[in-house]
Amino acid sequence: MLPAEGSSACVAGIIPARWGSSRFPGKPLHLLAGRPLLQHVFERVRRCGALDFLLIATDDARIMEAAAAFGAEAVLTSPGHPSGTDRIAEAVRGRPDATHVINIQGDEPLIDPALVDSLAEALVADPELPMITAAAPFSDAEAVRDPSQVKVVLDRNGEALYFSRSAIPYRRASPPGLRTLRHIGLYGYRRDFLERFVHWPPGLLEQAEQLEQLRALENGARIRVLPADDHAPGLDTPEQAPGLEALLAAGQPPMNR
C-alpha cells in the first residue's frame, strides 16, 4: 500500500539472483576479478542514497551463504518463480514497511548507482505513477538489429508506448530528432502495483515478445521511461567475462553497450 498522508516512503532495493540459468548456471557466483558477480552488483548498489534497504532474493542456499559472507542481507524464495519480478514480490512480503520497490538486475557489475537513485526518486515523487524504467540511445547501429537488445518507443510525456525485440519504430522516414532507444532492464514499482502485477496472467504480447513489461501495458498501466546517457554492460554468457574483468580492473565507469 502507499504510505499514509504525512508518512514517509520506504524504498526497497532488491536484487533477484537465481542459480539455474539455462545459458549460465551459477552465474551470480561466477568470479570476476576475484569476487562473485553478485558481490560486485551489491557493492555498487550499496552506494545508492535513495534506497532505504537492500536485499538479495535468491532460490539457492549457495547464494545465501555467499551473500552472508560479503555482508548482504538475503532472502530465500521459492525456486518455482517464472521471473525475477515474482521473486522480488515474495522477498518484499516480509517487509511491510516498503512502499516502493526497485528491481536491480544481478548481472550488471558496473551498474550506475546514480541511475538507480534517479529511478527511485522519480517514482516516489509521483504518487500516481505505478511503474518506472529507463532507456538510452543506441550507440551501435548493429545492436539495433539484435533481438536480445530490447527497444522502446515513447509518447510525448516520456512514457512507454511499446517495447519490442524488433527495431522500432520502423523508419520509412527519419524525421530530425528521432532516436532508437535501448531499454535498460531496471524497474521500479509502487508496492501495491507490484502485488497486482504478479497476479495478472501473461498477455498475448508478453508471450509473443517474451518481455514481461508488456504485461503492464496490456493491462493499461503507465510506465515512465527515464532517459539515461549510458548503461553498464552486463554478463550474459561466460564468454563476456574477460571483457568485464578488464573494465573492472581499469575502474571503467558505466558505458553504452
* pLDDT tens-digit series, residues 169-183: 999 998 998 999 999
Spans of all domains in the chain: 11-250
Q: DSSP E strands: which ranges in the chain?
A: 11-17, 31-32, 35-36, 53-58, 74-76, 100-103, 131-137, 151-154, 160-164, 181-190, 223-227
Residue 251 to residue 90: CA distance in whole angstroms? 35
Write down the CATH superfamily of domain 11-250. Answer: Spore Coat Polysaccharide Biosynthesis Protein SpsA; Chain A (3.90.550.10)
Residues 67 and 61 sit within 8 Å (Cβ to Cβ) = no
Give this prediction's pTM. Answer: 0.90
Collect the ranges in the chain with pLDDT lower than 50.
Answer: 1-6, 254-257
pLDDT at 254: 45
pLDDT score recorded for residue 66: 96
29 φ/ψ angles, rounded to the nearest 5 degrees: -105, 10
Q: What is the pLDDT of residue 64?
A: 96
pLDDT tens per residue across span 23-70: 788 999 999 888 999 999 999 999 999 999 999 999 999 999 999 999
pLDDT of residue 219: 97
